[in-house]
Chains A and B, each alone.
Chain A
Amino acid sequence: MLRWILGGREAQSSAEKSPVLCIGEEQPKNCFTELQVLKGHFDIVRFLVQIDDFRCASAGDDGLVLVWNVETGERLQELRGHSQQITAITTITCKNEVTLNTSLITASSDRSLSLWDPDTGNRVQTISDLHSSVKCLLVLERLCVWLSGGEELCVWNRDFQLQCQRPNHSDTGITALIELPKNYIAAAMDKKIMIYSLTVSADSSVSVAEIRCLSDHQDQIRALINVNDGFFASGSHMGELILWNATEWNLLAYEHILWEESQAYNQTEIRMGAPKPSEMSIQHLTTNGNLILAAVGSGLYVYSIQTRSVVAYRKVAHDSNVLHTMLLSDSELMSCSEDGSVRMWEIQDLPLPAEPASSGFFGMWSFGRSNKQSGPPSKKVIDIPNIRMLELTGDLIGHSGAVQMFVSFKEKGLVTCSADHLLILWKNGERQSRLRSLALFQKLEERGGL
């Protein structure tokens, strides 16, 4: 269809399309030249949490939580206890006198919550028979409490004692929770974002009050993130990206990301209908404070906070929906998708637009919000001069199912989890080889020879 629409621009379309689908086997910038397959799960692995700088925990639909050593690939612990799939997992850090103890909180469909010690594998605390299963967890280290969101919002202290509870009136329940400055909490519920205030009274009892309801989204909110102290962002199923002020909770920017290019050629109006919502659904948002990276359908969209404008984008970054993204730096990012691959991207400056095709090439994409009633402030010009390119620098192929999530351990490697029940630990082969050599010569020295 694309080709048919583009008509004579076939060459460009292929130029645009092919590098996405296949970068080829030569990937000089891809440093992940060694992998370890970590087996242990029996069902889809959906969550990965970093515990400290060498451990991570994985959890999935089999109700298992496994703790892995990322350096060696060993399975350190197996946390068994949940009878159904895990719906949320997070770490909670307790500051002792000297040490930082990181524990894991898991929530499962069996309507229980558990606290685990990843060092020993013990289930330290557990609460079962909740009214509903918990969909999201938020730890407020500052207040020494943590929150669970589902059909109700509950506040718990470190000892798993319920501090307060707030029933929810929407059918979908809370899908995401973030912490805002001044003890406020933002919770995403269907199309609304609720702002709660958390007050800790003198006797250390906690109460929650509903402050405001933000209902600017037209569709279900899929992602809600903190950007920095001043902003938070949310993304909806139909591709709306809204930047909010974190203290006054007002709308700062509204982007409706529509992957359609029909305006440029609207004479051929055999519209195949609007793009399917899933194609522009914002699956995941991530940020590093300067940029927001949105996973929109199977594409990627980089938005700059400062300029309130798109920096780079790629409509078809993957063959299927992008499930998780990460900004490694201001120019490097990574995404994983249902197509089973992880791709690494670089935001590159465009080669100088010498040939006119270049501008046309970008011109054919029209995005920006459609004129909706909410009245967002700024509107983008199609060919912004400072728009840059999202260049594929490498891909990791190994999973045979959707890659659900990944966690980067910087130079130690990258852990991916997938629907094929596997985790894969991707490493820099050269570094590993160096480490092995080091170990070899150490052993040689210990033995005093061969």
Chain B
Amino acid sequence: MIGSPDVVAFAKEDEYGQTSPDLWPLPEEFSVPLYPLADSNPWAKTSYAKFTKDFILISEFSEQVGPQPLLTIPDDPKVCGTFDLNYFSLRIMSVDYQASFVGHPPGTGYPRLSFVEDSRVVLGDSKEGAFAYVHHLTLYDLEARGFVRPFCMAYVAADEKKIMLQFQELSLRFSQASECLKAGNRRAFAKELQRKLRDLEYTHSVLQREEGLQREAGPQSMYSAHAVEKANELANVEKSIFEHRDLLKQISSYHRRPRRDPHAVTCQKCVDECLSECEELLNKYAKIAYPCGYGEKAGKGEGHPRGQGEDDDEEEEGVKRKLSYTPQLIKAKSAKCFDKRLKTLQELCDKTFYEATVELLKETERSFRGDLCYLYTRRLDKALQRKQRVTTFLFEEDLNDDDEDELGTLRPFCAVNHAVDNYVLLNPPPIVLAPEPHELDALERPEHLDPASETSITLESELGLGESHLESSPSDQTLETQESSEETKGSFSSDKSGVGLAEIQQSLVSMKSEAPDPDPDSDLTPDPNHNLERESSSEEMETTAGEDEGENGGDQTPMSLLEVVSELEANREEECEGVSGSELLVPIDTACCMVQEGFLYEASAPEAVPHLCQNSHLQPSQTLVVNQEPQALLPLQDDYTVGSPCSESPATGLELPSGLLGDAVSRTSAEDGSDCTMSASTGSDQTASPLGYGALVTLRQRKKAGQGALRFVRQYPFAIQALWCLLSGRTLVVLGADEGRVRRLVAALALFVPAPGKCGERVQAWLSCPFTLTDLQRWKLIGLQRVASPLGSSMLYSLSRYSRYISILDADHKTLRCPPYRGQLLANIADHRTYIRRGSTYFLHLQSTLCHLAAKAFLFTFTHHLHLPVSSTEGLEVVESRRRCFLQEQLGLSEEDSQILLYLSQLITQQYLQPTGSSAAAPSFSFNYTTSILYKI
């Protein structure tokens, strides 16, 4: 109905892809992706977009009106401008490639819920100048066709490259949002089912009573048209009860199925809650149903005496009446018409979950604001910073958020904020943080996930070991599946066609007979865990109602057959993603596993820990193997066409610094087909950190402060002395009567305070009482109120008393009292005739200078012979002179400049010795005795 949208494959364009084969070019972290030369104006692209900045669009494919936009984030009509949201919704909704069974699949008695994984697609509309990352998801709705409601969330930007390069992060963020929505939806769906079941049971009881009355009325009425109709109705209701009960069972088994989507990490606590809720419901209805055996009733017809059943029903009703909800009689015909109002997104999901999702998306939008280059450099910056924790604390903003991000990739987002528990449980060990040269950039990293090479490895090993190790159970919905898919992959790939059921059954047999030889490959899961899994999986089989009887082949229930089929399909995908996916998935799935076990047996968390650890140990070796054969990437290109809609369209504009790595990324998208585009390339926790919102604000504040600092430097000729005081660790007191002015000055000067602390603890913006020595020790920059009162005099007293430790900048009289500074080191950041006009420029200039200083300080600190004698015969004087020589001659620093370095070095040393600063001892405070002079403007 719609012209095929130009879907952009997440692959690299040839002209940019074939760059130098040089394996070790300039380190990736230093190269910034530049726009192709053809684009003389890098911003030209955005010019014809009809919206001003990026936004997030949530759309729905409504079964009544078709694709329609639901909301945008930010929710501001100005953002979209003249951009046609309706049209764009149509486009993005038309690229949902999820092939799924909806409704009654052939061979099943009941409608099946399809557990469809989200799909991720990049789509472009060159005419509109819009490009979008589109994340499709389905939510369950009892009243909807096939019980599903397709939705999608799209990140719409004018810059295609931005989408492409941020794909993984986008995917991660949207997966979180999607998981959140779906979690809420499952909950709501279960509730809805419960309500519906009550209604049905009630209807059933009413109908039965009527039928009983008729039967009493006499045999002649037994066969009247009315009676037949009633009987049919009753049968329909019974069937419906069955269906719904089955649906409830399905939805509650949601978490037990393997997730192929590595992003689909859910909060365990929520899952737990949800599971237990569902389980409760199931139990309840199972209790109601099975004693009287609705199934039997349905099968054996009407003639069966039903006294007991009626009693039960009445009891039930009694129970139900106690509940607040009063069941309603259900009409035989359900209203599947267009006049029916469809549930809104809010109704589909729990309110809390919906709000949390919106919050999450808002944050996503916020963190992706800005130019791609900006995002990219910022990420590089962070990655570099993370490597240099020894010195970054000095001048860089805090990376706390980064730590979170590092873990956050695997940490599930939880709407109800179970985050703390998750943190403990899911805190993944550095799984893929192995000695990776390219760990800097997520986009460049996934080469170690190279499926081809690993496939070959597993194949080999499998050939060597024979097939006796296959242990796969199609109905086994735990971690086992993941593993087994990995292990059986060899056979699947060898004969992709039917993949004899026999093999699977064989594996079933082997599983039943408990022959899990620890395969060298399957070491991924250590043995202790194996048992647990087994237990959980057997538990699983019980819940899926005796499908395992099919171990001899013949009588598998339709259900398990279906699962075999889907398993096979899945395997085709997993064939590509399998090893890589599973190795990444293991920790995640362990989590799933843990959830289940946590549900079955309370204390499973401790056992999961060794599992995770082992994974992390295993990882490096695998990485090594892969790294040795990068050529193995090439054969994979064949898999491009394997049912992957993404690969159809050309890879436009994906441009990565290195060809090899770029390939890796494109391959990633190609291999996974529609279901989980991201599997291979994510799951890694060093995926580039999404730019933290907190840090961004801090940065903005700092840039603003840069403006103030620039003004200070231009305004005060003695700025250089003031900066020197701050950098050499001498507390600077900004004295003034006007709070605003003092605060502004302090904010500007705070940029120069080394190691200002996580939240600027070393800076006191406004103090209106006399300070003490401990204050001086704590704060390196103090804004002090000048008051003309007795209090003021005591303040002046403290100023003069501690004058040897401080420098005083008088904001009112524009004087500075501090030791003289004659160095040259700071001349370029404190030049009051500077040509820099913009605060942010100055800030960057400053950052680079300070960074330079920090590097020198690092060198100085960690050069052994500058601090300690080389031999025992050397005296302290020798060391002293060597140090002086180093500082003065090699670094070319004057006496005062050396003090800066000494101070920075002292900070580094302290930080290194006590990274947390949690020592029981009081902090030490260094100073020196020098005379101060008064500088005037």
Chain B residues with Cβ below 8 Å from A450 are: 390, 862
From B910, which residue of chain A is reached at the shortest CB distance?
Answer: A436
B931 touching A74, Cβ below 8 Å: no
Contact in complex: A434, B924 (CB < 8 Å): no
- Chain A CB within 8 A of B94 CB: no
CA A432 – CA B804 in complex, angstroms? Answer: 20
Closest chain B residue, CB of each to CB of A400: B772
Judging by beta carbons under 8 Å apart, are B913 and A36 in contact? no
> Please, how many residues of chain B have a CB less than 8 angstroms from a CB on the other chain?
37
Structural contact, A439 and B913, CB atoms closer than 8 A: yes
Indicate if the CB atoms of B913 and A440 lie closer than 8 Å. yes
From residue 17 to 51 of chain A, which have CB atoms closer than 8 A to chain B? 24-28, 30, 33-39
Q: Is the CB of B931 within 8 A of A433?
A: no
Q: List the B residue with the shortest CB-CB distance to A73.
A: B921
Query: Are B906 and A441 in touch, CB under 8 angstroms?
Result: no
* Complex CA distance for A73 and B924, rounded to whole angstroms: 9
B798 contacts which chain A residues (CB < 8 A)?
400
Taking a contact as CB atoms under 8 Å apart, the answer to whether A397 and B913 are in contact is: no
A38 to B920: give the CA distance in the assembly, Å: 11
Partner of A440, one of B801, B803, B819, B861: B861
Of A27, A30, A398, A433, most buried by chain B (CB within 10 Å of CB) is A398
Contact of B864 among A73, A398, A441 (CB under 8 A): A441
B529 to chain A, nearest CB (A): 32
Q: Is the CB of A397 within 8 A of B921?
A: no
**Are A429's CB and B926's CB within 8 A?**
yes
Contact between chains at A28 and B906 (CB < 8 Å): no
Chain B residues near A25 (CB, 8 Å)? 803-804, 819, 929-932
A75 at the interface (CB under 8 A from B): yes
Judged by a CB distance under 8 angstroms, whether A336 is at the interface is no
Verify A35–B906 contact, CB threshold 8 A: no
B546 CB to closest chain A CB (Å) equals: 58
Contact pick for B804, options A38, A39, A75, A397, CB 8 Å: A397
Q: Which residue of B lies closest to A24 (CB)?
A: B931
Known: A25-B804, A28-B929, A397-B802. A436 touches B922 (CB 8 A): no
Chain B residue nearest in CB terms to A443:
B913
- Determine whether the beta carbon of B804 is less than 8 Å from that of A36: no
Interface residues of A in 394-431 (CB under 8 A from B): 394, 397-400, 420, 422, 424-425, 427, 429
Task: Evaluate contact between B777 and A37: CB separation under 8 angstroms.
Answer: yes
Q: Does B321 contact A (CB under 8 A)?
A: no
A348 at the interface (CB under 8 A from B): no
From the candidates A30, A427, A437, name the one contacting B909 in the complex (CB within 8 A).
Answer: A437
Whether B773 and A74, one on each chain, are in contact in the complex, defined by CB atoms closer than 8 angstroms, is no
Mark each residue of chain A from 195 to 235: 1 if its CB lies under 8 Å from any CB of chain B, else 0. 00000000000000000000000000000000000000000
**Bound Cα distance A37, B776 (Å):** 11
Q: Which residues of A contact B928 (CB under 8 A)?
A: 33, 429
Inter-chain contact B929/A33, CB cutoff 8 Å? yes
Q: Name the A residues within 8 Å of B876 (CB-CB).
A: 434
Question: Which B residues are CB-close (under 8 A) to A420?
Answer: 772
Minimum distance in angstroms from B754 CB to a CB of chain A: 16
Q: Please, which residue of chain A has its CB at the minimum distance from the CB of B869?
A: A434
Asked, given contacts A25-B804, A427-B924, whether A37 binds B909 with beta carbons under 8 Å apart, the answer is no
Known A-B contacts A34-B924, A72-B921; the reply to A436 vs B772 at CB < 8 A is no
Given known A-B contacts A437-B868, A440-B861, A440-B909, A37 and B921 have beta carbons under 8 A apart = no
A34-B926 in contact given A397-B801, A443-B913 (Cβ < 8 Å): yes
| Pairwise interchain contact B868-A36, C-beta atoms closer than 8 A | no
Report whether B923 and A36 are in contact in the complex, using a CB–CB cutoff of 8 Å.
yes
Give the nearest-CB partner of A76 in chain B.
B920
Query: Complex formed: what's the CA distance from A20 to B274 in Å?
Result: 79
CB distance from B855 to the nearest CB of A (A): 14
Contacting residues, chain A, for B819 (C-beta < 8 A): 25
A130 within 8 A of B: no
Residue of A nearest to B804 (CB): A25
Is there an interface contact between A75 and B929, defined as CB atoms closer than 8 Å? no
A382 at the interface (CB under 8 A from B): no
Q: How far is the CB of B480 from chain A (nearest CB, A)?
A: 40
**Residue in A28, A73, A340 with the greatest tally of chain B CB atoms within 10 Å:** A73
Tell me how many residues of A have a C-beta within 8 Å of chain B.
Answer: 42
A5 at the B interface (CB under 8 A):
no
- Chain B 895-933, CB within 8 Å of chain A: the 1/0 string? 000000010001001101100000111111111111110
Residue numbers in A under 8 Å from B804 (CB-CB)? 25, 397
Q: Does A127 contact B (CB under 8 A)?
A: no
- Given the known interface contacts A24-B931, A25-B930, A450-B390, the answer about A39 and B922 at a Cβ–Cβ threshold of 8 Å is yes
Least Cβ distance of A394 to chain B in Å?
Answer: 7
> What's the minimum C-beta distance from A248 to chain B, rounded to whole angstroms?
49
* Any B CB within 8 A of the CB of A381: no
Measured in the bound complex, the distance between the Cα atoms of B802 and A399 in whole Å is: 10
Residues of A contacting B906 in the complex (Cβ-Cβ under 8 angstroms):
433, 436
Does A444 make an interface contact (CB < 8 A)?
yes
Q: How far is the CB of A179 from chain B (nearest CB, A)?
A: 37
What chain B residues lie within 8 Å of A400 (beta carbons)?
Answer: 772-773, 798, 801
- B65 to A: closest C-beta gap in Å: 61
* Given A25-B931, A26-B930, A434-B867, A36 contacting B803 (CB threshold 8 A): no
Query: When chains A and B are docked, how far (Å) is the Cα of A88 from the Cα of B777?
Result: 32
Distance A394 CA – B930 CA, assembled complex (angstroms): 12
* A224 smallest CB distance to B (angstroms): 34
Query: How far does the Cβ of A34 sit from chain B's closest Cβ, in whole Å?
Result: 5
Task: Enumerate chain B residues within 8 angstroms of A399, measured Cβ to Cβ.
Answer: 773
Q: B774 an interface residue at 8 Å Cβ cutoff?
A: yes
B868 CB, nearest partner CB in chain A, Å? 6
Do A36 and B925 form a contact, CB below 8 Å, given A75-B920, A437-B909, A443-B913?
Answer: yes
How far apart are A396's CB and chain B's nearest CB, in angstroms? 10
**Residue of B390, B867, B906, B924 most packed against chain A (CB within 10 A):** B924
* CB-based contact A74/B921 at 8 Å: yes
The complex places the Cα of A38 from the Cα of B804 at a distance, in Å, of 20
A443 to B932 alpha-carbon distance, docked (Å): 38
A11 within 8 Å of B (CB atoms): no
Q: A424-B773, A436-B910 are in contact. Are A36 and B922 (CB under 8 A)?
A: yes
Chain B residues lying within 8 Å of A124, measured Cβ to Cβ, are none
B921→A36 contact, CB < 8 A: yes
CB distance from A176 to the nearest CB of B (A): 33
Bound state CA distance, A34 and B926, in angstroms?
4
Q: Please, which residues of chain A bring their CB within 8 A of the CB of B773?
A: 35, 37, 398-400, 422, 424
In contact, A436 and B909 (Cβ under 8 angstroms): yes
CA distance A450 to B387 in the complex (A): 10
A398 contacts which chain B residues (CB < 8 A)? 773
Residues of B within 8 A of A36 (CB): 921-925
| Chain B residues, Cβ within 8 Å of A94 | none
B930 pairs with A33, CB closer than 8 A: no
Per the 8 Å Cβ criterion, residues 310-343 of A in contact with B are 340
- Which residue from B861, B920, B926 sits with its C-beta under 8 Å from A33? B926
Interchain CA distance A214-B342 in the complex, whole Å: 110
B608 to chain A, nearest CB (A): 29
A437 to B919 Cα, complex, angstroms: 17
**B residues in contact with A69, CB < 8 Å:** 921
CB distance from B565 to the nearest CB of A (A): 54
Which residue of chain A has the shortest Cβ distance to B924 in the bound complex? A36
> A26 to B819, alpha carbons, bound, how many Å?
10
Q: Top 4 A-B pairs ranked by shortest CB distance? A: A437-B867, A27-B929, A73-B921, A74-B921
A-B contact pairs, 22 of them (CB 8 A): A25-B804, A25-B819, A26-B930, A30-B929, A34-B924, A34-B925, A37-B777, A39-B774, A72-B919, A73-B921, A75-B920, A397-B802, A400-B801, A422-B773, A432-B926, A433-B906, A434-B867, A434-B876, A436-B906, A440-B862, A440-B912, A441-B868
* Chain B residues proximal to chain A, CB less than 8 Å: 390, 772-774, 777, 798, 801-804, 819, 861-862, 864, 867-868, 876, 902, 906, 909-910, 912-913, 919-932
Beyond A424-B773, A436-B909, 17 extra complex contacts between A and B, CB < 8 Å: A25-B803, A30-B929, A34-B924, A35-B777, A39-B774, A73-B922, A400-B773, A400-B798, A427-B924, A429-B928, A433-B926, A434-B868, A437-B867, A437-B868, A437-B909, A440-B861, A440-B912
